[in-house]
């Protein structure tokens, strides 16, 4: 592989993104469904990709596309904590306890239903690889970025089609989350489950006008994250202005340093595992992806900046920009290089897993959300349904549909919940380790652990979630 091939691959991905953006601007229904530009670009890339009907690029370019997701996902996760002002544990607990519990119910439950389905049906009938039990959580909670980043881990452990199936699962999740979630919002409004606007009174949120404007515009616009931060009062005043090149360079360097720490952590973990557990343990640990460790590296860098009183060097909006660019390129490359023949080989187990995961999320929303949340259960539940089926942005989209004026204050709780949730599930440590645990423990033992964790999450939510109200 030559550096020139990398340049051509980058140029081709950029062109696909520009075409995808143009299509979303012209096709209103794409915007209404909340389909991001990167996904549109990736689907277009399938047509000219290595397994598409019109492969127009050299083979070397496709090789770069195939390796791009595993590299960029580490950069995405490295930016999550950089530039963030962490609130006190007491504030996080008050606002996010119930929200976190429900998110864990969805995540652990996805492992549970995937494991039970694989044990009871997929393995006896189709001889399915047990690692496929992790695909629901990887695709639904994790999304396209996590699915692409987990590809190397799946291949290392013997599931060659893991990345392809994970990306397909993530695509199904995004589409069904928007369609079914929108239907649920309409149903909930008719049943008067949503926070209602009192006649003659101003919206409860002082930033209601901004929130309503965001709700009316493209839900995945480039300035969405900064707008939300500004509305919530979490963005620095300086961040609302244009950033200089120097600022962007510094923030990119900080993110790169976080990735470097992640690489170092993996080397240390692998070396420690080899010395304590032997060659087999080292082989399993070698399959650990870099991206959750890059997230830990970002947290270490942020703590170091706080201790040295240099927090001004890390900008939340700049890190969001770095992560957004990396994620867009990642999704486009991953979808464009999707190995369709591998998907065809496993389409029946894939459909069964997708239906099972979606059914679990819907059941949890109706049966558990009203019992876990003592106030604004619909708004809080629909936000996590969107994230647990699609991605975080899908959850925000559904929340704005259900509560465009911000009366429920769910946005704050949902944001705080990410600080506790994302380090573990939805692409965090548990997501990254799940294939290794299935390979090491066996699927029956893994499913039993998933059952225990799901029941604990439900019990935690029922006991403590109702004690923590938003108002």
Q: Which residue has the higher pLDDT, 387 or 90?
A: 387
- Alpha helices per DSSP H over 287-391: 291-307, 316-336, 340-345, 347-367, 369-372, 377-389
Q: What is the pTM of this model?
A: 0.74
Q: What is the mean pLDDT of the chain?
A: 80
- pLDDT tens-digit profile of 362-410? 999 999 999 988 888 898 899 899 889 977 767 777 887 787 766 777 7
- pLDDT tens-digit profile of 317-356? 888 888 888 878 887 887 787 777 777 778 899 999 999 9
416 vs 431: CA distance, rounded Å: 20
- pLDDT tens-digit profile of 276-321? 766 666 766 776 778 778 888 988 998 898 888 888 888 888 888 8
Task: Give pLDDT, residue 220.
Answer: 41
Task: Give pLDDT, residue 465.
Answer: 60
Q: How confident is the model at residue 196 (pLDDT cuts 50, 70, 90)?
A: low
Is the pLDDT assigned to residue 269 strictly greater than 60?
yes
Burial pattern 422-459, b for ≥16 Cβ within 10 A else e, equals bbbbbbbebbbbbbbbbbeeebeebbebbbebbeebbe
8 A C-beta contact, residue 176 and residue 358: yes
Is the pLDDT assigned to residue 242 strictly greater than 60?
no
Burial pattern 369-386, b for ≥16 Cβ within 10 A else e, equals beebbebbbbbbbbbbbb
> Closest by alpha carbon to 50, among 26, 35, 66, 69?
66
SS3 203: coil
Q: The tokens 């707008």 sit on which residue?
A: 227
Q: Please report how the helices 377-389 and 89-117 are oriented relative to each other, as an axis angle in degrees rounded to 10.
A: 50
Is the pLDDT assigned to residue 114 strictly greater than 90?
yes
Structure tokens at 296: 């830990």
Structure tokens at 413: 């709780």
């Amino acid at each position: 592989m030559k550096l020139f091939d990398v340049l051509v691959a980058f140029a081709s991905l950029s062109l696909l993104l520009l075409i995808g953006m143009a299509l979303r601007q012209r096709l209103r229904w794409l915007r209404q469904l909340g389909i991001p530009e990167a996904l549109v670009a990736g689907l277009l890339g399938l047509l000219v990709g290595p397994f598409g009907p019109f492969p127009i690029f050299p083979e070397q370019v496709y090789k770069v596309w195939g390796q791009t997701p595993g590299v960029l996902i580490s950069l995405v996760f490295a930016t999550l904590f950089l530039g963030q002002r962490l609130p006190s544990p007491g504030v996080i607990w008050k606002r996010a306890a119930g929200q976190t519990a429900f998110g864990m119910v969805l995540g652990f439950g996805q492992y549970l239903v995937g494991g039970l389905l694989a044990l009871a049906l997929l393995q006896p009938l189709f001889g399915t690889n047990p690692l496929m039990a992790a695909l629901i959580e990887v695709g639904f909670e994790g999304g396209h970025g996590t699915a692409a980043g987990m590809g190397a881990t799946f291949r290392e452990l013997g599931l060659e089609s893991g990345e392809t199936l994970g990306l397909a699962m993530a695509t199904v999740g995004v589409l069904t989350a928007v369609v079914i979630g929108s239907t649920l919002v309409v149903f909930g409004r008719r049943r008067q489950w949503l926070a209602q606007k009192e006649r003659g009174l101003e919206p409860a949120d002082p930033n209601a006008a901004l929130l309503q404007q965001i709700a009316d515009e493209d839900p995945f616009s480039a300035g969405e994250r900064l707008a939300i931060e500004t509305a919530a009062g979490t963005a620095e005043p300086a961040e609302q202005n244009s950033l200089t090149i120097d600022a962007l360079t510094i923030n990119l360097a900080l993110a790169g340093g976080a990735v470097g720490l992640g690489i170092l952590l993996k080397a240390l973990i692998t070396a420690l595992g080899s010395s304590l557990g032997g060659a087999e343990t080292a082989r399993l640990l070698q399959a650990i992806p870099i991206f959750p460790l890059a997230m830990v590296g970002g947290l270490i860098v942020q703590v170091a900046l706080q201790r040295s009183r240099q927090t001004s060097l890390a900008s939340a909006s700049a890190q969001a920009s770095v992560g957004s660019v990396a994620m867009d390129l990642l999704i486009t490359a991953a979808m464009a290089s999707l190995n369709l023949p591998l998907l065809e080989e496993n389409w029946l187990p894939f459909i069964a897993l997708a239906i099972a995961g979606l059914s679990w999320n819907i059941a949890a929303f109706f049966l558990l959300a009203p019992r876990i949340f003592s106030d604004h259960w619909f708004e809080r539940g629909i936000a996590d349904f969107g994230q647990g089926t699609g991605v975080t942005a899908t959850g925000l989209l559904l929340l704005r549909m259900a509560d465009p004026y911000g009366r429920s204050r769910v946005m704050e709780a949902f944001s705080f919940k990410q600080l506790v949730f994302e380090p573990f599930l939805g692409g965090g440590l548990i997501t990254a380790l799940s294939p290794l645990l299935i390979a090491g423990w066996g699927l029956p033992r893994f499913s039993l652990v998933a059952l225990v964790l799901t029941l604990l999450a439900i019990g935690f939510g029922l006991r403590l979630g109702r004690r923590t109200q938003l108002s």
